Amino acid sequence: MPLTPDRRLQGRIAAAFALVVGVNGLVLSVLVWSIHRLLSASGRSLSVELGVPASVGALLVGAIGLVAVQARYGSLTAVSGLEPEPIDGDGPRNVGARVRRLATQADVPQPAVAVADCTEPNCLTVGSQRSPTIVVTTGLLDALGDTELDAALAHEVAHLANRDLTVVSAVAAIVAIGDRLLERERMLRGVLVAMIVFVIRLGPVFGLMLLFVLVAPFVAITVGFLVVSPVARLLLGIYAITLGLFAKAREYAADRGASQLVGDPAAVASALETLDGGDRPKRDARLDASATLGIVSQSLSIDWADGEGDEDGDADESWFERLFVGQFDMWRENVSEFGNRQSENGFDQQRSSDRGAVDADANASAGAGDDSESKSWIVEPLVKPVVDPIRDRIRQVLTWRPPTHPTTESRIERLQMLERRRCD
């Protein structure tokens, strides 16, 4: 039975498409205005005079054309580094024949099929609506049984039937651009922190001298950070709003379509449960284009080794603690070390003058140690109630990412409801 596009999803996709076009139009407007101002400041100006309707029309055409470019870029980014190989004929486990059968059943254009040598089990659809390609990983072919494999492929075919590929690929491009900017932000932040810590460690005299020498690069890096960080966060916000319009509905609709194609919602639920891999170590894939397009939110990027991902939480914790909490720890250690030295000196002097007062000197040493502990106790309250909440809040803000998929548990619950209705 042919699949018909989900009407509610189509409305959400239209809203998301309008949002992406609007943002593109705003970007193009700012770009044209900036070029015009630069040319005017240099004594040159453009003499093109367009009416309001023509200007709006040109801007709209440019914004829609930019969506096509973004969709193309998003698809390429999702499979970058994977080097998927198009299959000839049926391919391993007859995956080509399975896709052709499901596409014919759903009455959608026959997609190409490619296999990527990747141990992460996942599959995704890239390309355009007219010439799509379903990419499956060798990990998926190894992990799923026959019915589960049909269900996973049917999920991707259902995406084609729902015609959501263009918009989600454009969103994946925003994901990729935002990810690149966040990488630059982390790099600039690390340089700034290193410079500040280095100046502090040198002391007031040499530190100020070095700061005077580094003032120009410091200002340049700071300006770059202040520009890159808001732009990255703005893209992240746009990404979150756009995904909020249709991401969950998109996956739910594809799950329902896959259930119709294979006639077994339980098989779709079983495939999702297997691919979710709750027992596998997870990477932070929320800003990864392949995770945005995949059947489950698992990154296919080969740039990160397992357990070695540059996760924001660890990076943000290290630079923040190094700059703030580390300073408190250093001061507390210095106070304790000073107290211990004082107690040891007092103990040695007393022992040389009076051998009979060893016990008293030991008590005095303990008292001095207690005094150093009291000095540490003065610093400790500044760390726990003041610094820790600030650190946690900053970490929450810097590590927040919008979800690309609904939870696997909620998807399985909906599929179980479909299974019960089918049995009734």
| Residue 283 and residue 354 share a domain | no
Q: Verify that 281 and 327 share a domain, yes or no.
A: no
Q: Is 248 inside any structural domain?
A: yes
Identify whether the C-beta of residue 370 lies closer than 8 Å to the C-beta of residue 342.
no
Mean pLDDT of 164-168: 81
Let me know if residue 113 belongs to a domain. Answer: yes
pLDDT tens digits along 384-399: 666 667 767 766 666 6
β-pairing, 85-86 vs 112-116, is antiparallel
Cα 421 to Cα 12, 261, 414, distances in angstroms: 26, 16, 11
Domain identity same for 268 and 139: yes
- Residue 305 counted as domain residue: no
> 84 lies in a domain?
yes
Same domain flag for 327 and 273: no
Clarify whether residues 330 and 290 are in a common domain. Answer: no
Query: Are residues 77 and 139 located together in one domain of the fold?
Result: yes
Higher pLDDT, 413 or 340: 413
pLDDT for residue 271 is more than 60: yes
Tens of pLDDT along 171-218?
A: 777 767 766 777 777 777 777 777 777 667 766 666 666 666 666 676
- 413 and 366 both lie in a single domain: no
**Does residue 304 lie within any of the structural domains?**
no
Highest mean pLDDT pick, 12-26, 142-156, 285-299, 403-417 = 142-156
Task: Say what the pLDDT of residue 384 is.
Answer: 64
38 vs 65 pLDDT, higher one: 65
- For 220-256, write each residue's pLDDT tens digit: 767 776 776 777 777 667 767 777 777 788 889 899 9
Residues 341 and 249 in one domain: no
| Residue-level pLDDT at 310 | 43
Q: What is the mean pLDDT of the chain?
A: 72
Identify whether 307 is part of a domain. no
Residues 291 and 345 in one domain: no
Domain count, the chain: 2
Same domain, 181 and 327: no
Among the listed ranges 57-66, 72-81, 163-172, 345-354, which one has the minimum average pLDDT value?
A: 345-354
Task: Please indicate, yes or no, whether residues 316 and 421 belong to a single structural domain of this protein.
Answer: no
Q: Kindly state whether residue 302 falls inside one of the protein's structural domains.
A: no
Least confident of 62-66, 173-177, 312-316, 338-342: 312-316
Distances, alpha carbon 86 to alpha carbons 91, 112, 133, 152, 189, in Å: 9, 7, 9, 18, 42
Q: 306 lies in a domain?
A: no
**Domain span at 178:** 1-297+409-424
- Look at residue 153 and tell me whether its pLDDT is greater than 90: yes
Same domain as 257, residue 144: yes
List the structure tokens of 27: 């970007």
